[in-house]
Structure 1
C-alpha cells in the first residue's frame, strides 16, 4: 500500500474525530482504558490542527492513520522534557489495522526527528496495554519510566534513540 503523510487541515477534523471514536470504541471493547470514550471533542482536534500538531496518513484519498507530533512535552515528561519528537494520539483506521500503517507513520516521525536535529522519539501508553507495549518494543522503543496521571491511569514512558544513517 502506498501511503502519504501530510499535515492535517481543518477539513480533516471529521475524519480524525471518526477515527478517534472508532479507536476509543475498539479499545473499550478490548477492556483497555487508554482513551475514554468521547474524551476528545472535534473542537479540540481543530485547535490542535491550528497549532500544526496533527498529521494524516492517506492511501489515495482514504485516511488510514493519524498522529500528533510535538517537539516538547513537559506535561507528560515532567522534569525529563528535552528536544525530541513526541508522538501522541497514534491511531490506525480499523480497516487498515495490521497493514503496517503504524510502523510506517513512526518511521516517518523518525525521519522528521533527524531533520529537526534530534535522535530521540518519545511516546507513552497506558500501563495495562501490554499488547501495545510489545508492539512499541518490537519497533525498538524502550520503556524508560512510569507516570501516574490519576489513580486509574498510569502511563508507560517509551523512547527510541535513533541510529545514524549513512
Structure 2
C-alpha cells in the first residue's frame, strides 16, 4: 500500500466527516462510546463547524492509501478553547486537531504517517513543540498510541461533563 500525504481543503470536508463517522462506528463496535458517543459526528453541527474552523485556522493534511483518503489531521497554532484553563506552553507551538482515519485502513500506518508529517512540517516552520490532546479514559489505548508516535504526556484534564483528556507533547 502506497501512502501519500497532501494538503486538504474545503472540498475534503465530506471525506473528513466520513472518516470521523467511521471512527465513531468502530468505537461503538468496540463498546467504547465514551470518547465520541454513538451518533455519527457528521450529524453534529458543532463538530462540522469545528472541522471547518480549524481548517481555516491552520493546515489540514490527508493521508491517502493508494489514492483513497484514509486519514486526516489539522495543525494550528494553538489548542482549542476547551483547554483555555491550561497554562500556555510559553513558546510557539503547533497543535494537532481531529486526527481520524477510515477504519478500513486500520493497522496500515496512515495515522502514524500523518503524525510524522506534522512533526516534519512543524520543524520546517522553525517550531520545536508539537502538541495534541486526546481521550484518556477507558483503557488508555489512545494515549499509548500517541506515546508510540513520539509524544510524551504533559497535562491531564477533566472537562465539566466528566470527559477525561490528556495533553501530549513532542519535541521536533
Interval containing the TM-score (normalised by the shorter chain): 0.7 to 0.9
Q: How is 1:1-166 mapped onto 2 (pairs within 5 angstroms)? A: 1-30=1-30, 31-36=32-37, 37=39, 38=41, 39=44, 41-42=47-48, 44-73=50-79, 75=81, 76=83, 78-81=86-89, 82-129=91-138, 130-162=140-172
* TM-score for both structures, normalised by structure 1: 0.85
Q: What SS is found at the alignment partner of 1:150?
A: coil
CA distance in 2, matches of 1:126, 1:119: 24
* TM-score for both structures, normalised by structure 2: 0.82
Q: What are structure 1's unaligned runs of at least 5 residues?
A: none
More helix by share: 2
Tell me how many residue pairs correspond in the alignment.
162
Cα distance 1:70–1:51, how it changes in 2: closer, same or farther (>3 A)? closer
Q: What are structure 2's unaligned runs of at least 5 residues?
A: none
RMSD: 2.1
CA distance in 2, matches of 1:97, 1:41: 23
